[in-house]
Chains A and B, each alone.
Chain A
Amino acid sequence: MLPFFCALIMKTEKGKEEARMKENAIEINHLTKYYGRHCGVADVSFSVRAGDIFGFLGPNGAGKSTTIRSMLGFLQYDGEISILGMDARKDHERILREIGYMPSEAMFYPSMRVRDVIRLSAQMRGMDCKQEADMLCDRLKVDTERRIYELSLGNRKKVSIVCAMQHRPKLFIFDEPTGGLDPLMQNTFFELIGEYVEDGTTCILSTHVLSEVKKYCNNVAIMKEGQLVSTGSVSELTHTSSKRVRATVDGQAVDYLYTKDMNSLLKELGGRNVTDLTITDPSIDEIFLGYYSKNDNREEVKK
């Protein structure tokens, strides 16, 4: 009887593990990467739920790209990465088949025509993606007859989006995707993401643009100096009600972070001569600052 129970317990545990893997599109455990003596990322662990739009937030040099490049097998690393239930080291090729990746630089072979780059990307996957590629080119207004060296960064990014999406992957990895794209194209891009995610695709969006994360992502991981500062839902992590206030009050320019209730701000300004007023989201560093301050029970961060 004992071996039977042992086998049953093991089977149940294995089932739980498989279910967890299915639930999480990405699982990163203790990821550490050194470039010589310099630490790229240190002991980073987080997971991304399947079907989620996950923001990966941090300033330049925070370790976002290192994490992504480790996931894609561009770098050797310590720790464990599991993508779509597969081991990133062992099943590298199979994983790449299911991924649509858009690098931050979006560089292609300069002498190739756009249509040839898109076709090469599909052929390497052994797929005929013509219909999907045509739809994407149409919506993103990509001129497929032009050569890559004729394209601006924004247009190269659009080609990169087509290459990443045309095979309808299970996972998108976008590294600073909107840089160079005009606002109209940014809108179309996020519309497309929304449509694919509705069909079950997971999306990880690495960026330092806070507004993108706040607007489009459900969950977020915040990186700073190679370390994971925090992870959780967007509303949780950006809960700080801080606003950057820039105004000209009584002829004097003021610029500060306001963390109290907005009504108090309006009351404060109400009785004074305000000639100019801009209220924006705080920068990512200010959010960090606010976040740390909250941990230290210091609610207000003011200039």
Chain B
Amino acid sequence: MMVLFRHEWKQNIRTLLIWSLAVGIMGMICICLYADMAENMADLSESFSNMGAFSDAFGMSVLGIGTIAGFFATEVGVVHGLGSSMFAAIIAGNILSKEEEGHTGEFLYSLPVSRGKVITAKICSIVSALAVFTAVTCIFYILGFQVIDTAPDYKLFAIFMLSQLLMNLEVMCICIALSAFVKRNMTGAGIGIALFLYVYDLMGRIIPDAKDYLFIGPFSYANATDIFAEQEIGPAAYICGGCLMLIALFITYAVYTKKDLAS
């Protein structure tokens, strides 16, 4: 299993580097911009918080954009949320189907390892890639805070990053389950799934009637403004997320271990 885990790691390392550096550097640049914008932000903050549905959607009605916490949550929070979920979706969406698409399955599955173990090793490699992604981006954000010499509450920052990691894991589970069914590259579909889940959360915050169903999406418990505004996140979101992950993993193992592999 460790051999397979290392092999998967090596296969994913380039994608991991590109995405973690891209999202991390983008986030750090955003943070660095805060120093220049802080003076103007004080005036703008009031206007941004009174823009109705727009303010609700991006959380500016509950958190002032003029503070570093508000700025980080509304700017970097969106960049990180979208970037990390897309990374999770792309990497997970291809993890099983790439063997059939690249015709490497005949080599891999002729080695003495069960398909169940292959799935486990692949999932472990993605989980660790997501953890590294979170750590790398975290370092860049903290570097940004050091540059501008101001930072949000680090406890809330840690909760935000861990919630994002949890959200990424949920996206990962959904995409792996889809990957078990298909034989083709799922990059496009992965990006689509990540965007759909983000838009679902966005719409849920704009449309009053949809607010009750917000907890179904993985972005509900990882929303930066909710976390930095210390708003209570109900257990339903976590329970729903946990159940979705378990169901997705069950489907993955059940389908993929019985599937006819394409030649």
Q: Which residue of A lies closest to B114 (CB)?
A: A93
Q: Does any Cβ of A come within 8 Å of B40's Cβ?
A: no
- By a CB distance below 8 angstroms, the chain B residues around A160 are 107
- By a CB distance below 8 angstroms, the chain A residues around B263 are 65, 69, 74, 103, 105
Known: A74-B106, A108-B107, A163-B107. A125 touches B112 (CB 8 A): yes
Contact with B along A101-134 (1 / 0, CB 8 A): 1010101111000000100110111000000000
Whether A109 and B11, one on each chain, are in contact in the complex, defined by CB atoms closer than 8 angstroms, is yes
- By a CB distance below 8 angstroms, the chain A residues around B110 are 72, 96, 99, 101, 103
Q: Which of A110, A121, A124, A163 has the most CB of B within 10 A?
A: A124
Whether B104 and A109, one on each chain, are in contact in the complex, defined by CB atoms closer than 8 angstroms, is yes
Q: Which residue of B lies closest to A69 (CB)?
A: B263
Whether B3 and A124, one on each chain, are in contact in the complex, defined by CB atoms closer than 8 angstroms, is yes
Which of B107, B258, B261 is the one whose CB lies under 8 Å from A107? B107
- By a CB distance below 8 angstroms, the chain B residues around A74 are 105-106, 109, 260-261, 263
The answer for the CA separation of A121 and B106 in the assembled complex, in Å, is 12
Q: Which residue of A lies closest to B258 (CB)?
A: A76
Tell me the residues in window 65-115 of chain A with beta carbons closer than 8 Å to chain B beta carbons: 65, 69, 72-76, 92-94, 96-97, 99, 101, 103, 105, 107-110
- Contact count band on B: 20 to 34
| Minimum C-beta distance from B184 to chain A (A) | 16
Which of B104, B109, B261 is the one whose CB lies under 8 Å from A108? B104
The answer for the CA separation of A117 and B104 in the assembled complex, in Å, is 11
| Minimum C-beta distance from A134 to chain B (A) | 20
| Minimum C-beta distance from B115 to chain A (A) | 8
Whether B109 and A105, one on each chain, are in contact in the complex, defined by CB atoms closer than 8 angstroms, is no
Known: A109-B104, A125-B112. A75 touches B261 (CB 8 A): yes
The answer for the CA separation of A56 and B258 in the assembled complex, in Å, is 27
Known: A107-B102, A109-B102, A163-B107. A124 touches B260 (CB 8 A): no
Q: Which residue of B lies closest to A119 (CB)?
A: B3
Whether B106 and A120, one on each chain, are in contact in the complex, defined by CB atoms closer than 8 angstroms, is no
- By a CB distance below 8 angstroms, the chain A residues around B111 are 96, 121, 124-125
Contact with B along A245-262 (1 / 0, CB 8 A): 000000000000000000
Q: Is the interface of B mostly helix, strand, loop or mixed?
A: loop
Which of B11, B102, B106, B113 is the one whose CB lies under 8 Å from A124? B113
Q: Which residue of B lies closest to A74 (CB)?
A: B261
Contact with B along A156-170 (1 / 0, CB 8 A): 000010010000000
The answer for the CA separation of A35 and B102 in the assembled complex, in Å, is 21
Whether A120 and B113, one on each chain, are in contact in the complex, defined by CB atoms closer than 8 angstroms, is no
Q: Does any Cβ of A come within 8 Å of B156's Cβ?
A: no
Whether A93 and B112, one on each chain, are in contact in the complex, defined by CB atoms closer than 8 angstroms, is yes
| Minimum C-beta distance from A153 to chain B (A) | 12
Whether B107 and A96, one on each chain, are in contact in the complex, defined by CB atoms closer than 8 angstroms, is no
- By a CB distance below 8 angstroms, the chain B residues around A75 are 260-261
Q: Does any Cβ of A come within 8 Å of B103's Cβ?
A: yes
Tell me the residues in window 67-123 of chain B with beta carbons closer than 8 Å to chain A beta carbons: 102-107, 109-114
- By a CB distance below 8 angstroms, the chain A residues around B112 are 93-94, 96-97, 124-125
| Minimum C-beta distance from B190 to chain A (A) | 20
Whether B114 and A105, one on each chain, are in contact in the complex, defined by CB atoms closer than 8 angstroms, is no
Q: Does any Cβ of A come within 8 Å of B211's Cβ?
A: no
| Minimum C-beta distance from A196 to chain B (A) | 17
The answer for the CA separation of A243 and B102 in the assembled complex, in Å, is 42
Whether B109 and A107, one on each chain, are in contact in the complex, defined by CB atoms closer than 8 angstroms, is no
The answer for the CA separation of A121 and B105 in the assembled complex, in Å, is 13
Whether B3 and A123, one on each chain, are in contact in the complex, defined by CB atoms closer than 8 angstroms, is yes
- By a CB distance below 8 angstroms, the chain A residues around B114 are 92-93
- By a CB distance below 8 angstroms, the chain B residues around A93 are 112-114
- By a CB distance below 8 angstroms, the chain A residues around B109 are 72-74
- By a CB distance below 8 angstroms, the chain A residues around B261 are 69, 74-75
| Minimum C-beta distance from B176 to chain A (A) | 19
- By a CB distance below 8 angstroms, the chain A residues around B105 are 74
| Minimum C-beta distance from B233 to chain A (A) | 41
- By a CB distance below 8 angstroms, the chain B residues around A76 are 258, 260
B residues adjacent to A (C-beta < 8 A): 3-4, 7, 11, 102-107, 109-114, 258, 260-261, 263
Given contacts A110-B102, A120-B7, 13 further A-B contacts (CB under 8 A): A35-B260, A65-B263, A74-B106, A93-B112, A96-B112, A99-B110, A101-B106, A103-B106, A107-B103, A107-B107, A121-B111, A124-B113, A125-B111
16 contacts between A and B (CB under 8 A): A74-B260, A74-B261, A76-B258, A93-B113, A93-B114, A96-B110, A103-B110, A105-B263, A107-B103, A107-B104, A107-B106, A121-B107, A121-B111, A124-B111, A124-B112, A125-B112
Please name the 9 residue pairs, one residue from A and one from B, whose CB atoms are nearest each other, closest first.
Answer: A107-B103, A103-B106, A96-B112, A97-B112, A101-B110, A124-B111, A74-B261, A123-B3, A75-B260
